[in-house]
Chains A and B, each alone.
Chain A
Amino acid sequence: MLTPDEAGALLLSLRVSLVAIACALPFALAAAVWLSHARFPGKTLIEGAFTLPLVLPPVVMGYLLLLAFGTRGPLGAWLLAHLGLRFAFDWKGAALASAIITFPFQFRAIRLALEAMDGGLAEAAETLGARAADRFMNLTLPLALPGIVAGAITAFAASLGEFGAIITFVSNIPGETRTLPLAIFNALQTPGGEAEAARLSALSIALALIGVALAALAQRRITRLIGR
């Protein structure tokens, strides 16, 4: 049904997205928790900055990443020299781009879940002897779980479709950075590639649908599990 190249693109897409979501999750959680507690002037600005990747043209994001994480970019050069970590023209670069582009999906879902949490519960836990870390692990985290899971799945589904930032930052290298959308683009550029593009597009649509349905299902399931 799929050619080896197409299957490779699918597997690469899944790997890139999985790594992207897993790496962005702790940051999204930390940012959401921080902003749900902190009060300072300019908080709205920070809040906006965290959702910026959602509205910024992905090509611009890819270009910025190229400037910062390219082999001659300040961060890229340092990471390569000290950790041997290379992002440019590498699938890890694609994962980085996806992680940043889909960060707002995770951040916003967790933020909403925390916002919906009753602050009185934390007070009650405090009077029962629970310290801050204890309250976070046993109250905040389990109660925010539906939001965390739904955010991660939505971000994963969105990440499968990332095109602009990836192609700008790490180019379109078969087997390395050619994810599904890039493979579709490539097929369209190739004479006689319409059938392949159609197959891959159908696959993308199916994956997106499954992702969105899964997110809704998981949220409902966990919400019921925690007895809300």
Chain B
Amino acid sequence: MSAEVSLRHAFPGFVLEAQFRMDEGVTALFGPSGAGKTSVAHAIAGLLKPREGRIVIAGRTILDTGAGISIPAHARRIGYVFQDARLFPHMSVENNLRFGWRRAEEPAAVEHFSHIVELLGLAHLLSRKPAKLSGGEKGRVALGRALLASPGLLLLDEPLAALDAARKSEILPYLERLRDEARVPMLYVSHSLDEVTRLADFVVVMREGRIAASGPVFDLMSDLEFARASGVEAHGAVLEANIKEHRADGLSALAFAGGDLIVSRIAKPPGTRLRVRIRAEDIMLALEEPRAISANNVIPATIAAIRETAAHADVQLAAGDAKLVARITPASLKRLALAPGMQLFAIVKSVTVDRNTQGE
């Protein structure tokens, strides 16, 4: 499955001009508020008619203004999870869930219904009215309702933005499970880099109505040019890793393209694929291999690129086939006389393990 989106629309005082491709998995549409992300989602869903545009999803043209094609929203089969959930207040949770299911062209099997209910932990909520749900529960019901309409594409428009931190961490695991199990391509609209690096496989960055940059999340987050072009602070590396072994000292060893990472024990069998993030602030640089330090991970690396601003210097490191980013001060950069090609050691202070770490 792949999708092509190409849009042009003029709002009063604002021009939207976006063109991007989506492949399987989660594509994040990322950018500050007012960048036009929701307008893109609305145009894909059919809630906004762009002046010019072409949208093809899995070979089906749902919009082509040049050819006079515009399939109405109710026939597009595009699931939309709104930021404010938009549950129907006069219907029980169950009837909300069944709303799209009943109206699907080929309604999914009953087992699918119970599967989604179980996947999202909704079984005990089915008879309740939306007014009696918490924010996080509403979000999960909205997610289930959209999924059960058997969409060819799922749009998630800032589904976590209205929630507090506790509710966010309640829903994120469900989103990760969906990504890994539901096999529906998703467009995840967000202004939170944290959510994007945690969920997305591919990132499209929007600024002021235009696409500023795009690429796979593993490449972009450690790409200094991306940081410059997109205006997004170099965040740090997002890496794929496998659990190599559980060591006798209670720690787990992960293998990634640049070597091994030692992290706290992960309750998953060896071989499990994980996503790990290493923030740029969490890497220190040393010219000689440090001894007798508390950090578990010291990774030999080569400097690939340096980008200096007044406030800090970002150093891109190549460790094997992996790219890391370290953020240091301009003073340190000068003192160590760092330059591309130099070999050094990256001391990793902390590793965030994301993917598939739930249900421990």
Q: Do A and B bind each other?
A: yes
Contacts from A to B (Cβ < 8 Å): 118, 120-121, 123-131, 134, 139, 142-143, 225-228
Judged by a CB distance under 8 angstroms, whether B64 is at the interface is no
- Cβ contact within 8 Å between B149 and A226: no
- Cβ contact within 8 Å between B47 and A126: yes
**Identity of the chain A residue whose Cβ is nearest the Cβ of B86 in the assembled complex:** A124
Judged by a CB distance under 8 angstroms, whether B34 is at the interface is no
**Identity of the chain A residue whose Cβ is nearest the Cβ of B131 in the assembled complex:** A227
Q: A120-B84, A123-B47, A227-B130 are in contact. Are A129 and B89 (CB under 8 A)?
A: no
**Identity of the chain A residue whose Cβ is nearest the Cβ of B105 in the assembled complex:** A129
How far in angstroms is the closest Cβ of chain A from B147? 11
Docked CA distance A223–B316 (Å): 60
List B contacts of A227 (CB < 8 A).
Answer: 89-91, 129-132
- Cβ contact within 8 Å between B47 and A143: no
Contacts from B to A (Cβ < 8 Å): 45-47, 72-80, 82, 84, 86, 88-91, 99-100, 103-105, 129-132, 145-146, 149
19 contacts between A and B (CB under 8 A): A120-B82, A124-B82, A124-B86, A125-B99, A126-B46, A126-B47, A127-B76, A127-B149, A128-B103, A128-B146, A129-B77, A129-B100, A129-B103, A129-B104, A139-B88, A143-B90, A225-B90, A226-B89, A227-B90
- Cβ contact within 8 Å between B145 and A118: no
List A contacts of B76 (CB < 8 A).
Answer: 127
Docked CA distance A142–B129 (Å): 15
Docked CA distance A125–B74 (Å): 8
Q: A227-B130, A227-B131, A228-B131 are in contact. Are A127 and B89 (CB under 8 A)?
A: no
Docked CA distance A143–B45 (Å): 24
How far in angstroms is the closest Cβ of chain A from B326? 44
List A contacts of B88 (CB < 8 A).
Answer: 121, 124-125, 139
List A contacts of B47 (CB < 8 A).
Answer: 123, 126-127
Docked CA distance A90–B96 (Å): 50
Q: Find B86's partner among A118, A129, A130, A225 (CB 8 Å cutoff).
A: A118
List B contacts of A121 (CB < 8 A).
Answer: 86, 88-89
- Cβ contact within 8 Å between A129 and B90: no
Docked CA distance A139–B88 (Å): 8
- Cβ contact within 8 Å between B145 and A128: yes
Given A125-B88, A227-B89, 19 new contacts (CB under 8 A): A120-B84, A121-B86, A124-B88, A125-B99, A126-B74, A127-B45, A127-B46, A128-B146, A128-B149, A129-B77, A130-B103, A134-B103, A143-B89, A143-B90, A226-B89, A227-B129, A227-B130, A227-B132, A228-B131
Docked CA distance A119–B99 (Å): 17
With most chain B CB atoms within 10 A of its CB, the pick from A121, A129, A134, A143 is: A129
List B contacts of A120 (CB < 8 A).
Answer: 82, 84, 86
List B contacts of A118 (CB < 8 A).
Answer: 86
Q: Find B80's partner among A124, A139, A143, A225 (CB 8 Å cutoff).
A: A124
Docked CA distance A142–B91 (Å): 10
Docked CA distance A131–B73 (Å): 9
Docked CA distance A120–B45 (Å): 13
Docked CA distance A123–B86 (Å): 9
With most chain A CB atoms within 10 A of its CB, the pick from B46, B75, B76, B86 is: B86
Q: Find B146's partner among A126, A127, A228 (CB 8 Å cutoff).
A: A127
**Identity of the chain B residue whose Cβ is nearest the Cβ of A225 in the assembled complex:** B90
**Identity of the chain B residue whose Cβ is nearest the Cβ of A117 in the assembled complex:** B89
- Complex A-B, nearest 9 residue pairs according to Cβ-Cβ distance, in ascending order: A129-B103, A227-B129, A226-B90, A128-B100, A124-B86, A127-B80, A126-B73, A120-B86, A142-B90
Docked CA distance A130–B103 (Å): 7
How far in angstroms is the closest Cβ of chain A from B285? 49
- Cβ contact within 8 Å between A127 and B79: yes
Q: Find B73's partner among A127, A134, A226 (CB 8 Å cutoff).
A: A127
How far in angstroms is the closest Cβ of chain B from A208? 31
- Cβ contact within 8 Å between B75 and A129: yes
- Cβ contact within 8 Å between A131 and B74: yes
List A contacts of B89 (CB < 8 A).
Answer: 121, 143, 226-228
Q: A121-B88, A227-B90 are in contact. Are A129 and B149 (CB under 8 A)?
A: yes
**Identity of the chain B residue whose Cβ is nearest the Cβ of A122 in the assembled complex:** B86
Docked CA distance A134–B103 (Å): 10
List A contacts of B146 (CB < 8 A).
Answer: 127-128
How far in angstroms is the closest Cβ of chain B from A147? 13
Docked CA distance A128–B91 (Å): 15
List A contacts of B132 (CB < 8 A).
Answer: 227
Docked CA distance A134–B90 (Å): 15
Q: A120-B86, A121-B88 are in contact. Are A129 and B80 (CB under 8 A)?
A: no
With most chain A CB atoms within 10 A of its CB, the pick from B82, B88, B100 is: B88
How far in angstroms is the closest Cβ of chain B from A140? 11
How far in angstroms is the closest Cβ of chain A from B99? 5
Docked CA distance A121–B104 (Å): 18
List A contacts of B72 (CB < 8 A).
Answer: 126
